Amino acid sequence: GALIIVDDSAFSAQRLRRAELTANPLEDGSLNDFHVCRVDISHLTLEAVKPFGLGAKDSARCKNFWALGLVLWMFDQPRDATARWIQAKFANNEAVRNANLAALAAGHAYGETAELQHILSQHPIPEAPLESVAYRTITGAEALALGLTAAGELADIELLFCSYPITPASALLHHLTGLGEAGVATFQAEDEIAAICAAIGASYAGKLGVTSSSGPGIALKTEALGLAVAAELPLVVVNSQRAGPSTGMPTKTEQSDLYQAVYGRNADTPVPVLATHSPADCFATAIEAVRIALRHMTPVILLTDGYIANASELWPIPDIDAFQPIANRKPTAAAAAGVWERDADGLARLWAAPGDARHIHRVGGIEKDIETGHISYDPANHQAMTDLRAAKVAKVADHLPEQAIEQGVPGGLAVVAWGSTFGAVYQAVKEALSDGLAVAQIHLRHLNPLPPNLGELLAGFEAVLVPELNNGQLATLLRDRLLVEVVQLNQVSGQPFPVAAVKAAIAEHAPARLAEARPKAAANQEGRRG
């Protein structure tokens, strides 16, 4: 049912042969399920720009603006902003500038004058309700860079970002390199292991160490990540996930590193894990990751993916003063506590940097005595330290906000997702609610530990659907931690979910009306409490 506007000239016999097509898709019935609007865009563009004396190649390039003019007419949008952009872009080339302006106007005029109502009609888009704040477009990588920088400001700590280039994580290094005046230092290491070890060294010295990579690089960093857990040092590790094992498909997106983030280290080595859900959300998620790392003296893994890192969206520029300052465990001038004396709130040790004569201590990867920090092979002590490391990460949940429902109400089907599936899930649930289905959306930022109220929240639903761009990793985690049964919707094609796929799964598993779902959900919740 979608509309396709095609340039008739592009489907010549020669071009069909180049595309290795044996039949013309405009004539063989393969597009019968779509509304096809055939326009000779190339010819009409050449006619519109003929007065400006451009060559054939430059004239043909103007067809993009001709098509844009038609689309602007279709959605009843003004051309002013586009015209200003053309004037600025081609300010030094009068002929090209005027030709593109003419093409834009010609495409718009074609929509106004052509007899297209049976195929193409106007669909006015009302002005978006925006807050009275400054906006900008931002990519996920840019938002992560700004979020990490802002976190350093909120914590009053210098940040050292250590990385090794890998797709799709390299953009974060590029953006942070330009923020030196904001207190960010960057270091491009010779390999992944050197990068994380340098970041650990920065944290040992009292700075905030941050590193990033994608799945293969995170695998190489794993042993050093265990060192940071054993040494109890704050560290932020950003994983920009990509598709497939090994090299896989570096430019395609996937959510297949959740197991790696939660479980993927030798021994019992827990770390908090967060996931961002959109480019703009990267800013706040980066601040949250730094807050947890500094408050609880632990490495934190922040999951994003290639789709989020490279996508962009409109972002209301936040007021940094609206964020709470980030506290840390550095000893104050009056502090008399030892390095290994822990706060009751988060079980975090003091963060004493080298050179502090009051807090001389040793750190390393060999097991330490729970009270003195000295090397210890004592069996009971190792049990106590293993329990402590687990309890420290579990304590993070005490400081998390309660999990909220994004849209919908309890009682029917809960669609529980994480990461970049947010947009597809949001639209699918919105449409399902309009269709009268009993469905709600729950989107998780905190994946380890899970929000403390999540189990009770899910008990208020008749069923749980978990859409993921993997083979069911969050589904496994929910079964493991909450003993909840879920329905899986999995895709590992390297592409984001189509809204239609999520909506079809909702239609299959959601009750038709909310009134039918509530009694079953109430009984389910009561059974779990019992």
From first to last of its 530 residues, the chain has per-residue pLDDT tens of 788 999 999 999 999 999 999 999 999 999 999 988 899 999 999 999 999 999 999 999 999 999 999 999 999 999 999 999 999 999 999 999 999 999 999 999 999 888 666 677 788 888 878 778 899 999 999 999 999 999 999 999 999 999 999 999 999 999 999 999 999 999 999 999 999 999 999 999 999 999 999 999 999 999 999 999 999 999 999 999 999 999 999 999 999 999 999 999 999 999 999 999 999 999 999 999 999 999 999 999 999 999 999 999 999 999 999 999 999 999 886 665 789 999 988 899 999 999 888 888 989 999 999 999 999 999 999 999 999 999 999 999 999 999 999 999 999 999 999 999 999 999 999 999 999 999 999 999 999 999 999 999 999 999 999 999 999 999 999 999 999 999 999 999 999 999 999 999 999 999 876 555 555 555 555 554 44
Sketch out the chain's domains with CATH numbers: 3-113 (no CATH), 136-322 (3.40.50.970), 413-529 (3.40.50.920)
Residues in the chain: 530
pLDDT at position 129, please? 81
**Is the CB of residue 470 less than 8 Å from the CB of residue 256?**
yes
Coil, strand or helix at 224:
helix
CA distance 513 to 501: 21
Q: How far apart are CA 37 and CA 121, in angstroms?
A: 11
Query: Exposed, middle or buried, 32 (CB in 10 Å: 0-12/13-18/19+)?
Result: exposed
Six token digits for residue 5: 């506007």
For residue 529, the model assigns a pLDDT of: 46
Distance separating alpha carbons of residues 392 and 513, to the nearest angstrom: 43
Residue 337 CB-density burial (10 A; 0-12 exposed, 13-18 middle, 19+ buried): middle
Rounded (10°) CA dihedral 211, 228, 260, 443: -70
pLDDT computed for residue 530 by the predictor: 45
| Residues in CB range of 463: below 8 A, 6 or more apart | 412, 413, 414, 487, 509, 510
Residues whose CB is less than 8 angstroms from the CB of residue 430 and which lie 6 or more positions away in sequence, other chains included: 407
The verdict on whether omega for the bond into residue 449 sits within 30 degrees of 0, i.e. cis, is yes
Contact 159, 183 (CB under 8 A): yes
Are residues 157 and 163 in contact, defined by beta-carbon separation less than 8 angstroms? no
- Give the tokens for residue 335: 């502090």
pLDDT recorded at residue 474: 99
Q: How many CB atoms lie within 10 A of CB 2?
A: 7
- Considering only CA atoms, which of 444, 449, 371, 436 is closest in space to residue 408? 436
Inter-residue contact 231 to 258 (CB < 8 Å)? no
| pLDDT value for 334 | 63
Q: Are strands 273-275 and 299-305 parallel, antiparallel or unpaired?
A: parallel
Query: For residues 116 and 370, what is the distance between their CA atoms, to the nearest angstrom?
Result: 78
**List of E strands, 172-329:** 184-188, 208-213, 235-241, 273-275, 299-305, 312-316
